[in-house]
Every structure is written in structure tokens, then in C-alpha cells.
Amino acid sequence: MEELIAKRYIKAIKSSVDSKSMQGITDIFSSLAESFSDAKFVNIISNPNVSSDDKASILLDSVKPAKSKQVDNLIKLLVENKRISIIPALASELRKDMANTTKSYSGVIYSNSNIETKTLNQLSSGLGKKFDSKITLKAVKNDFNGIKVEVEGLGIEINFSKDRIDSQIIEHIIKAI
């Protein structure tokens, strides 16, 4: 639900700013969304005993260095409509929108082995050509028995599991017999 509300705000913002300003707004709200991981901050912002003016003041002070009238007005509107809690969703949707606009996506490769930088660059380049986009991949080492590539903005998920390949080989052998 928050994503739908956030998309409506983004649509309104996009109609009044250029792409460079939109990138700045995205960066500001991404930074602001990180504040929501702090329990003390969330406690203050969600506390009904704290006035809306105080909440607006806290948020506006945190984005003051940006000197953006659009950001200030959006924050005032969110506070007025009691929608401060959608700021993380708004930041996420802004990042997705910017990725779609610039055709620049980031993804993750999960594997239980180390992946060289050269291999990462080759995979990024290959996927980028396939989807006519700029894709940046980073490796995350975990216990997945194989390789899994995820690019969220494009909805790509490529999965090569050693266990699945072994079971398919066994099935093929059984069918051949």
C-alpha cells in the first residue's frame, strides 16, 4: 500500500522537476530513509505526543543542507497528511524510478565461493548488453550451493544450483535406461 502512495507522490514530483533534480531528491530521501533504521528516531517520529510541527522541524532540519524547495514542500506535505512512515518506501520507489529512467541497475551475485572482479565485470557487461542497460553487480558470499544472480529493478533472477543440476543428470540417466 505504501508503494502505491509513494508512486503517486513521485509522479507529482516528476512533473515539476528535471532529471538532475530528481536524482538529488532521490539521494536526499535515500539518506533520510536510513534514519528510519534508528529505533530512537522512529520512536520520536511515530510518537503521537510529539507535535506535527516538531516532526516537520526535525525532518526539515535534516534535509536543510540540500536547499531544495521541492524536498521541503514534500516533507511538509507528508507531515501534514500523517504519512511520514512512507519515507522509506518513497526512497525505494524513487531509486527504482531513477534506475528505470537512466537504465542503470545494480544487482547481486550470491555464491559460496569467491568471485573475481574480472568475472563480475564480464557478467555485468554481458547482462548489460542483453538488456540494453548499465548493470553493476556485487558479489555476496553465502551458503548457496551454486550461483544466483539477481537484478531487482529488471526482475532478473538467474540460478545455477549444483544440487538441481545433479538431480537433472540423474533423471536423464534414468530416462535413458
Question: Are residues 50 and 131 both part of a single domain?
Answer: no
What is the C-alpha separation between 71 and 77, in angstroms, rounded? 10
Q: What value, to the nearest 5°, has the Cα angle with vertex 85 and ends 80 and 91?
A: 105
Q: What are 96-140's pLDDT values in tens digits? A: 888 888 888 888 988 888 888 888 888 888 888 888 889 888 888
Q: How far is CA 63 from CA 24, 56, 75, in A?
A: 11, 11, 9
Assign residue 23 the CATH number of its domain: 1.10.520
**Residues 107, 41: Cα–Cα separation, whole Å:** 30
Q: Answer yes or no: do 135 and 89 share one domain.
A: no
Q: pTM for the whole thing?
A: 0.71
Note the pLDDT of residue 6. 85
Amino acid, single-letter form, for residue 174: I
> 6 and 63: one domain?
yes
HEC secondary structure over 34-86: HHHHCHHHHHHHHCCCCCHHHHHHHHHHHHHHHCCHHHHHHHHHHHHCCCHHH
- The pLDDT assigned to 97 comes to 87
Rounded average pLDDT over 8-21: 83
d(C-alpha 91, C-alpha 32), whole Å: 8
- Tell me the residue range of the domain where 131 lies: 104-176
* Whether residues 139 and 71 fall in one domain: no
pLDDT digits (tens, 9 = 90+) for 81-91: 888 888 999 89
95 touches 22 (CB < 8 A): no
How many whole angstroms separate alpha carbon 127 and alpha carbon 97? 20
User: For the chain, how many structural domains are there in total?
Assistant: 2
Query: Rounded mean pLDDT of 131-151?
Result: 86
Res 168: pLDDT: 78
- What CATH number does residue 115 fall under? 3.40.30
Confidence of residue 14 (pLDDT cuts 50, 70, 90): confident
Distances (CA, A) of 24 to 64, 137, 153, 167: 13, 23, 19, 49
* d(C-alpha 112, C-alpha 85), whole Å: 37
pLDDT for position 50? 86
Residue-wise pLDDT for 35-66, tens only, equals 888 889 888 888 889 888 888 888 888 888 87
